[in-house]
Amino acid sequence: MNKILPYLLLLLHLSVFSQTEKDSSSVVKVHYGHKGFELTTANDRFEMQIRARLQFRAATPGDQNPLTYDDFQTDNKTVFKINRARLKVGGHAYESWLKYYFEYELSQSNLLDFRVMLEKWDFLSFKAGQWKVEFSRERFISSGEQQMVDRSLINREFTMDRQQGIEVYGHLKGKGIIDFNYWVAALTGTGRGNTANDDNNLMYFGRLQWNFLGREVGFESSDLEFHEKPAAIIAFSAATNRSPYTRFSQAGGGYITGFEDGLDGQYRVNQNNLETAFVYRGFSGQAEWHHKNIFDKLNGDQKTQMRGYYFQGGYFFHYLLDWFPKKMEIAARYAEYKPNIDLAQNLETETSIACNWFFHGHACKLTGEGSYFSYHDKSLPYEGGWRFRLQLDISF
């Protein structure tokens, strides 16, 4: 509770700040909108949005994706847990284009996001702080707006997750197919919660997204809006970093299996991602293809190449079959991960099917999912197994 208290005091301070002014901003309007409870001064110079999210999950025989062959041999147990408990605060201060946002994980006492954005022009915006890097669509989409219970088998190995740094981004909107988004960032490259770099090498990241039908596909799964006109994107992302780490997660910097306990500047990691997404009349689809090179700078630049991809789609069958429940979506996903492309029969796969019931969009939904994982290695017998999960996600 002591770790949360400073943030609660900040909320209280900001909510009453305008009352100290002598003009019309001393009146604060309070209402509930799509971003939660919103406090706005009468002159609209200040706004604060406060939202909470809870995610309850049951899983058997265990919740985590298998990482090694031995994971298939482990007797896991059924899991019931609060998977996420978030407090989200955002808004603007002094000017409508001077925005701020932070997100706190209450169950683990982790400050996930804290950033300030200058978004005066659509074509040129700036951001500073800590946030989820826009490298991968699957990772950048909020865990509360996923189409499946959670992200795919390949997310752990390829995500850049949260980093600290600065970014330039914008929307270059032309006529027809001349429609692009871009992001360019310089980051510490040491993960969430780490304010210092381990050496003189920063992480550099870039993403270019082509909205080739003239309409964006937002960072959200499922076609809840029922797009009457098709929208689609093709995006390419690339990043380079040198650090002790070969992967990142909400916990910060970490290691892919086989690369444990790296030293400062030991690993040069170059990776790229080609992705696409499409929505139209109740159907949504997305896919990503990842390639990652890891160079061990302390061991003769030894190189390991990794690849992975997934594709998934979902559809509200009510639009095809009148008797099908209007609030139900059926979705499926297939993912493959190759830890080392130079080794034969070195492959992990995931096949999942899910059913979503949207009580109130992504803000309140129930998801059931079944997944089959397989492990192929020429030196080991084939192994596979099922996992079943049920999740309730609610935001307010």
User: 140-186 pLDDT, tens per residue?
Assistant: 999 999 999 999 999 999 999 999 999 999 999 988 899 999 999 99
What is the overall mean pLDDT for the chain? 91
- The CATH number that applies at residue 75 is 2.40.160.10
Q: Please give the backbone phi and psi of residue 13, each rounded to the nearest 5 degrees, phi first.
A: -65, -45
- Could you tell me the residue range of the domain that residue 254 belongs to? 28-395
CB–CB of 317/340 below 8 Å? no
Q: How many CB atoms lie within 10 A of CB 195?
A: 8
Domain membership flag for residue 23: no
**Total domain count, the chain:** 1
Query: Is the Cβ–Cβ distance between 244 and 192 less than 8 Å?
Result: no
Beta-carbon neighbour count of residue 83 at 10 Å? 20
Contact criterion met (CB below 8 Å) for 236 and 272: yes
H/E segment holding residue 156: helix 155-158
Is 6 within the bounds of a domain?
Answer: no
pTM for the model stands at 0.90
Predicted local distance difference test score (pLDDT) of residue 23: 52
DSSP letters, 51-104, are EEEEEEEEEES-SSPP-SGGGGGS----EEEEEEEEEEEEEEESEEEEEEEEEE
Residue 321 lies in a domain: yes
> Sorting pLDDT into bands at 50, 70 and 90, what band is 119?
very high
Looking at residues 361-383, what average pLDDT do you find? Answer: 91
Q: Is residue 9 part of a domain?
A: no
Alpha carbons 89 and 82: distance in angstroms, whole number: 21
- Return the H-helix or E-strand segment holding 16: helix 5-17
Q: What is the pLDDT of residues 28-62, one digit of tens each?
A: 899 998 889 999 999 999 999 999 999 999 999 98
In a domain? residue 15: no
pLDDT tens digits along 183-205: 999 999 999 988 778 788 899 99
Any domain includes 272: yes
